[in-house]
């Protein structure tokens, strides 16, 4: 996908995301309100107070084929345990007690915030298109940190690590504020 193609589709995707988020606003809870014991060791209070979760039977996936992005049909057909749009993430109801999936989606909340919506979606789509879901750098980052969270009790500041890794992956992202 060229940058021009992305620029043409970006407003449609962002609009779908904002509509989807507002449709579920009444069912959204802040992560802080859930009472998970370990997350405060990894995320600052502001993040836990502002990030929201909605429990669903099936995570809403953007209608990418319908807006002309048929190359992402496989992604659109996925049934992920969770997915994050801006500051809100959707998790399958049966995973509501799984603290690690909340940890994983919060990595994406940090990525969305650090990169800004346009740069996040461009980077995510590029990773998906060129490398596939499993090797998409933004997913590799989230799954790797999630694995550390699952296997060790030692806390760390996720936002600091994510920002460092994003700087390495996308050296110019902090300068390109016009894209945010």
Positions that interact with Zn ion (CB under 5 A): 139, 142
Which residues, at least 6 apart from 175, have a Cβ–Cβ distance to it below 8 Å?
none
Shorter beta-carbon distance to Zn ion: residue 8 or 78:
78
Shorter beta-carbon distance to Zn ion: residue 32 or 106:
106
Residue of closest CB approach to Zn ion? 142
Shorter beta-carbon distance to Zn ion: residue 3 or 86:
86
Smallest distance, Å, CB 177 to Zn ion? 25
Smallest distance, Å, CB 148 to Zn ion? 15
Contact 51, 30 (CB under 8 A): yes
Smallest distance, Å, CB 108 to Zn ion? 6
CA distance linking residue 160 with residue 168, whole number of Å? 13
Phi, psi of 58 (to 5 degrees): -140, 130
Smallest distance, Å, CB 98 to Zn ion? 13
Shorter beta-carbon distance to Zn ion: residue 118 or 146:
146
Structure tokens at 105: 């989606």
Smallest distance, Å, CB 4 to Zn ion? 27
Q: Angle at the Cα of 21 (from 92 to 156), degrees rounded to 5?
A: 65
Shorter beta-carbon distance to Zn ion: residue 11 or 55:
55
């Amino acid at each position: 996908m060229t940058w021009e193609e992305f620029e043409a589709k970006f407003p449609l995707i962002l609009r779908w995301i904002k509509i989807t988020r507002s449709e579920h606003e009444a069912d959204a809870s802040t992560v802080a309100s859930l009472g998970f014991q370990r997350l405060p060791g990894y995320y600052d209070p502001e993040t836990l107070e502002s990030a929201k979760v909605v429990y669903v039977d099936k995570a809403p996936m953007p209608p990418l084929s319908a807006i002309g992005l048929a190359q992402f049909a496989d992604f659109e057909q996925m049934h992920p345990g969770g997915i994050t749009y801006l500051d809100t993430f959707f998790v399958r109801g049966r995973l509501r007690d799984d603290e690690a999936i909340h940890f994983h989606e919060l990595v994406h909340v940090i990525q969305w915030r650090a990169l800004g919506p346009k740069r996040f979606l461009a980077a995510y789509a590029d990773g998906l298109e060129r490398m596939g879901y499993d090797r998409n750098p933004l997913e590799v980052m989230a799954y790797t940190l999630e694995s550390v969270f699952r296997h060790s009790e030692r806390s760390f500041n996720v936002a600091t690590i994510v920002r460092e890794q994003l700087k390495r992956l996308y050296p110019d992202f902090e300068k390109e504020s016009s894209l945010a």
